[in-house]
C-alpha cells in the first residue's frame, strides 16, 4: 500500500490543498475539516485504496483502521503543510468502533443462537440479582440469629420475595424463550410452568395415596427434573409449533384453535421428550463444572479464568448466563452459591494488570491517555473500554492479560470463593460474594492484577507495535 499515493488522491478528492482547513488522526479515522464541503467527492473517496468507510460532513471522517490512518495522515500533512493533529478520542468511542468491527465478523449461526439465549435470560437479571441477595443475606441472618426473626411478618415477606423469583423462574424463561423465537409469550409461560413444582398441579395428584405414573419410565412426574433447560427448550418448541400451526389453520378459527393446538401438542412433547432432554443437558453442565472445579482444582480455576476474556471479546460470555442462574438457584446442587462467577471475574483483573503494565512502560502519549481513561472503570468491573481500545488492538497484551488472570483464578478456586447472585464484576464483586469472604476475594483480585501486570510487563510490551496502532 503506497501511503503517499493515497494521500495525494485524497487531497485531490477533498478539493485540493486550499479547501483543507485542518486534519487530525484518531485511532482508526482520518478527520479532514473542509472549507467547502461541496468540493468533496465522497463517492470516489470511498473507492480509494485502504478506505474502509466514509462519514460525510464538513469534517469528513475517513476510516482506515489502526496503524494505517497515522501513515496516511502524515503523508497528507506533508502535502498540505498543516500540522497533523491527534485527537484525544474518547476511549468509549474507540472501544465501540473496535467492538463493532469484531461483531460484524460474527455471522455464524452459533453466534445468533447464543445471542438469542442471552436475550432470554438477560432481561431476567434484575430480579435474579435482587432475589439472590435476599436469599444469601437472609440465610446468613437465620444462621447467625438462630431464626430469631422468623416470626416477624415483614421478615418473611422479604424472604418470600426472594423465594418467588426462583420458584417461578421457569415460567419467565419459557415466556421469554417463546417470544425470542417468534411465538406468543403467554404460551411460552405455560410451557415453562410445566417445570414449576406446585402441590396443586393435577399431574402430581395422588390417587388412593399413589402417584400417577408416567409412560416409558413408570415413575411419578417430577416438574423439576429438567430445570431451566427444560423451560428454555419447551418455550422454543411451543414457538415452533405455533408458527407451524398458523400456516395451515384457517384465519377464521386461528384465534381459537392455534393456541389450543400449540398448548396440547407442545405439552405432550415437552413432558415426554423435552424434560428428559433438559435433565441430560443440566446434568452434563453440572458434571462439567464439577470436574473443572473439584477434580481439576487450581488447574481448572486457572483455565477457566484465563480462557474467559476471549469469550467476552466475541460476545459469547452471555451464553453462560443460564449457567449462572442455575448455580444461584437455592434449590440447585450448589444451594444457591455460584462458585464459577468469582473465578471468571478474575479475567477482568488480569486485564487491569495488563493496562497498568502498558501505562508504566510505554512512552506513547496516546496510549497512556487511553489507558488512563479506561483503567478506573475497568477496576470497577466495566472492562470493555480497556479491552476493545487498548489490549485487543495491540494483540499481545490481550494474551498476556489472559495468562496473568489465571493467577486470580487459582486463588479464587483455592479460597473456595462463591457468589450469592450475579450482575456485577471487578471490585463491585465485593458486594455479591458470600458474606465473610470479602477479604479473600480482594486477595484473589489483587493476584489477578499482579499476574496480568507481570506477564504483560515482561512479555506483552512492544513499543513498535504501539506506535503502529496509536501513532508515534
- Spatial contact of 461 and 358, defined as CB atoms under 8 Å apart: yes
Distance CA 302, CA 459 (A): 19
DSSP 82: P
Among residues 29, 97, 106, which one has the least CA distance to residue 60? 29
Rounded CA-CA distance 448/300 in Å is 15
By residue count, the chain amounts to 472
User: Phi/psi class of residue 247: alpha, beta or left (left: φ > 0; alpha: ψ in -120 to 50)?
Assistant: alpha
Cα distances from 244 to residues 183, 261, 432, in angstroms, run 10, 10, 44
Secondary structure (DSSP) of 193-208: HTTS--TT-GGG-EET
Distance, in Å, from the CA atom of 436 to the CA atom of 137, rounded to the nearest integer, reads 11
Q: What's 152's DSSP letter?
A: -
Contact 164, 116 (CB under 8 A): no
Cβ contacts of residue 103 below 8 Å, gap of 6+?
315
Contact 177, 232 (CB under 8 A): yes
Report d(CA 3, CA 382) in Å as an integer.
37
10 Å CB burial of residue 166 (0-12, 13-18, 19+) is buried
Beta strand pairing call for 20-25 and 84-86 = parallel
Cα distances from 419 to residues 92, 109, 153, 300, in angstroms, run: 29, 32, 27, 18
Partners of 63 in the β-ladder: 29, 53
> Given phi > 0 = left and psi -120 to 50 = alpha, else beta, which region is 182?
left
- Beta strands (DSSP E) in 176-259 are 206-207, 210-211
Options 7, 24, 26, 323, the catalytic residue: 26
**Residue 402 bears catalytic tag:** no
The CA–CA distances, whole Å, from 188 to 173, 300, 322 equal 8, 37, 17
SS3 20: strand
By the 8 A CB rule, do 389 and 95 touch? yes
Could you give the residue numbers annotated as active site?
26
Amino acid at each position: 500500500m503506497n501511503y503517499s499515493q493515497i494521500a495525494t488522491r485524497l487531497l485531490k478528492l477533498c478539493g485540493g490543498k486550499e479547501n483543507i482547513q485542518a486534519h487530525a488522526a484518531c485511532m482508526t479515522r482520518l478527520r479532514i475539516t473542509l472549507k467547502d464541503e461541496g468540493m468533496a467527492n465522497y463517492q470516489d473517496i470511498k473507492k480509494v485504496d485502504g478506505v474502509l468507510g466514509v462519514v460525510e460532513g464538513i469534517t469528513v471522517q475517513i476510516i482506515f483502521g489502526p496503524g494505517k490512518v497515522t501513515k496516511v495522515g502524515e503523508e497528507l500533512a506533508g502535502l498540505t503543510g498543516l500540522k497533523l493533529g491527534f485527537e484525544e478520542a474518547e476511549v468509549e468511542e474507540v472501544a465501540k468502533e473496535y467492538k463493532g468491527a469484531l461483531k460484524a465478523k460474527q455471522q455464524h449461526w452459533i453466534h445468533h443462537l447464543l445471542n438469542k439465549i442471552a436475550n432470554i435470560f438477560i432481561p431476567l437479571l434484575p430480579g435474579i440479582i435482587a432475589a439472590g441477595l435476599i436469599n444469601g443475606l437472609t440465610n446468613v441472618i437465620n444462621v447467625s440469629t438462630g431464626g430469631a426473626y422468623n416470626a416477624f411478618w415483614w421478615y418473611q415477606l422479604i424472604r418470600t420475595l426472594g423465594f418467588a423469583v426462583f420458584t417461578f423462574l421457569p415460567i419467565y424463561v419459557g415466556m421469554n424463550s417463546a417470544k425470542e423465537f417468534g411465538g406468543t409469550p403467554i404460551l411460552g409461560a405455560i410451557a415453562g410452568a410445566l417445570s414449576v413444582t406446585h402441590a396443586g398441579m393435577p399431574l402430581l395428584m395422588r390417587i388412593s395415596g399413589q402417584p400417577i405414573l408416567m409412560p416409558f419410565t413408570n415413575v411419578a412426574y417430577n416438574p423439576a427434573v429438567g430445570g431451566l433447560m427444560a423451560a428454555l427448550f419447551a418455550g422454543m418448541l411451543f414457538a415452533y409449533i405455533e408458527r407451524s400451526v398458523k400456516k395451515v389453520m384457517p384465519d377464521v378459527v386461528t384465534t381459537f384453535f392455534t393456541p389450543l393446538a400449540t398448548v396440547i401438542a407442545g405439552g405432550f412433547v415437552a413432558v415426554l421428550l423435552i424434560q428428559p432432554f433438559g435433565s441430560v443437558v443440566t446434568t452434563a453442565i453440572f458434571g462439567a463444572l464439577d470436574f473443572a472445579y473439584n477434580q481439576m482444582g487450581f488447574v481448572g480455576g486457572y483455565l477457566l479464568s484465563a480462557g474467559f476474556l476471549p469469550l467476552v471479546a466475541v460476545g459469547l460470555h452471555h451464553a453462560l448466563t443460564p449457567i449462572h442462574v442455575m448455580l444461584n438457584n437455592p434449590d440447585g446442587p450448589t444451594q444457591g452459591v455460584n462458585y464459577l462467577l468469582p473465578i471468571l471475574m478474575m479475567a477482568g483483573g488480569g486485564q487491569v494488570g495488563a493496562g497498568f503494565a502498558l501505562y508504566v512502560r510505554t512512552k506513547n502519549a496516546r496510549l497512556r491517555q487511553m489507558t488512563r481513561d479506561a483503567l478506573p472503570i475497568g477496576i470497577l468491573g466495566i472492562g470493555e473500554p480497556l479491552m476493545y481500545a487498548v489490549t485487543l488492538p495491540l494483540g499481545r497484551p490481550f494474551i498476556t492479560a489472559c495468562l496473568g488472570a489465571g493467577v486470580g483464578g487459582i486463588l479464587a478456586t483455592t479460597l473456595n470463593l462463591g457468589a450469592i447472585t450475579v450482575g456485577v464484576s471487578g471490585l463491585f464483586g465485593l458486594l455479591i460474594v458470600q458474606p465473610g469472604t470479602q477479604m479473600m476475594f480482594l486477595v484473589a483480585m489483587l493476584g489477578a492484577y499482579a499476574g496480568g501486570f507481570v506477564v504483560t510487563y515482561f512479555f506483552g510490551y512492544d513499543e513498535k507495535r504501539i506506535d503502529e496502532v496509536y501513532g508515534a
